[in-house]
């Protein structure tokens, strides 16, 4: 079989990288069509892939205009290469509509998170052949169409079956035994980040003042760093970030993606943005498992208070590893499930509709 993975963001590669590897190992032909986004092409350096030439726009109007160009390019690519199935997390539903090529959309955002996402869902969800999402995600009027599974996107690559932290990798850059903290500053300019705010220079400075008494500080940033923070910039191979994250004492950032990753690894995480209290996946990780904490941007003092509270917690690492184990016991091996779902599609979709418990075979 021939499978096309359409990737728009570094997180999409992490989500599918093990599935791609497994499908190739089983003798299938796998094609990758990727956007130039952040470090995505760096992550793909060991893969065979094609590049989507259209850039993403900066303004909303520009994004809409260029998105149409991207659609045409993806459609042309699919028309030439004729995959048996297209998989991804972006907008390629029109390929199914125009070329009758089946499509599987893997989503983790609630469809009703904000007006922009809901409008996007109205335009796309109806044309996807199947929608996959974690249990708990609210896909609104598309809940009946959605195949729900007990897992998270990030478990596809951070489940213990697929990821083993390596201290030696960290020690290529610095000591893994000395306490250190990982800070992440996102651009917050994606389609789901409309009107979102995060960590500014004043708050970043205060975080550093709190943390530097307890260990080293490393910053990974999508946005341009102010000059006073350059000395903290994390300079590593992008493929090594999860090893560095695993051995960190605490993650703080305005990126919800990395907050979920930290939770998957049992690393305490505090996220500071306007999505606190809104995203189902993070709400579950916070309120059911106690692995992450969301603070809204109008409450910076609460952010500092939560960090101080975590720093004073005895056996912090051991406690959060216990919380992680509880979470893992409730979840499946997402990559094993995805490979089965893709390889056996569309029969797999029918099986899951009739017997959702079938997924527990993938532990």
Instruction: Write the burial class of residue 235 (CB in 10 Å: 0-12 exposed, 13-18 middle, 19+ buried).
Output: exposed
Angle between the N-to-C axes of helices 334-343 and 347-354, in degrees from 0 to 180, rounded to the nearest 10: 120
Residue linked to tokens 């917690």: 313
Of the candidates 20, 116, 105, the one whose C-alpha atom is nearest the C-alpha of residue 63 is 116
Omega before 17 cis (within 30°)?
no
Domains of the chain: 2-159+332-361 (3.40.50.2000), 167-329 (3.40.50.2000)
Q: How far apart are CA 56 and CA 64, in angstroms?
A: 9
Residue linked to tokens 């389609």: 191
pLDDT in tens, the chain (363 residues): 999 999 998 889 999 999 999 999 999 999 999 998 888 999 999 999 999 887 666 666 776 677 778 888 999 999 999 999 999 998 899 999 999 999 999 999 999 888 888 998 998 999 999 999 999 999 999 999 999 999 999 999 999 999 999 999 999 999 999 999 999 998 754 444 444 578 999 999 999 999 999 999 999 998 889 999 999 999 999 899 999 999 999 999 998 899 999 999 999 999 998 888 788 999 999 999 999 999 999 999 999 999 999 999 999 999 999 999 999 999 999 999 999 999 999 999 999 999 999 999 999
Specify the 3-state DSSP secondary structure of 182.
strand
């Amino acid at each position: 079989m021939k499978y096309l993975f359409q990737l728009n963001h570094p997180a999409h590669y992490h989500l599918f990288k093990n599935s791609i590897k497994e499908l190739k190992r089983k003798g299938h032909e796998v094609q990758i069509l990727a956007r130039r986004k952040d470090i995505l092409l760096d992550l793909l350096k060991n893969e065979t892939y094609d590049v989507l030439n259209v850039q993403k726009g900066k303004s909303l109007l520009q994004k809409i205009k260029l998105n149409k160009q991207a659609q045409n390019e993806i459609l042309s690519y699919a028309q030439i290469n004729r995959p048996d199935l297209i998989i991804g997390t972006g907008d390629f539903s029109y390929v199914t509509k125009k070329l009758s090529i089946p499509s599987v959309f893997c989503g983790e955002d609630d469809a009703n998170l904000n007006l922009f996402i809901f409008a996007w869902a109205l335009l796309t969800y109806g044309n996807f052949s199947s929608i996959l999402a974690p249990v708990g995600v609210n896909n609104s009027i598309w809940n009946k169409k959605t195949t729900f599974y007990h897992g998270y996107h990030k478990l596809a690559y951070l489940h213990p079956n697929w990821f083993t932290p390596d201290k030696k990798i960290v020690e290529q850059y610095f000591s893994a035994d000395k306490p250190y903290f990982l800070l992440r500053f996102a651009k917050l300019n994606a389609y789901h980040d409309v009107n979102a705010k995060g960590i500014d220079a004043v708050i970043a400075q205060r975080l550093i003042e709190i943390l530097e008494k307890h260990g080293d500080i490393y910053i990974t940033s999508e946005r341009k760093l102010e000059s006073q923070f350059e000395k903290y910039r994390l300079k590593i191979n992008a493929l090594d970030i999860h090893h560095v994250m695993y051995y960190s004492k605490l993650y703080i950032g305005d990126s919800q993606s990395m907050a979920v990753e930290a939770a998957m690894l049992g690393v305490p995480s505090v996220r500071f943005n306007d999505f606190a209290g809104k995203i189902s996946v993070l709400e579950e990780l916070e309120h059911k498992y106690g692995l992450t904490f969301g603070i809204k941007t109008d409450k910076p003092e609460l952010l500092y208070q939560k960090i101080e509270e975590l720093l004073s917690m005895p056996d912090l690492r051991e406690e959060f590893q216990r919380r992680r184990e509880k979470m893992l016991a409730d979840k499946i091996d997402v990559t094993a499930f995805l490979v089965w779902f893709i390889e056996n599609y569309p029969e797999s979709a029918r099986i899951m509709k009739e017997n959702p418990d079938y997924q527990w075979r993938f532990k």
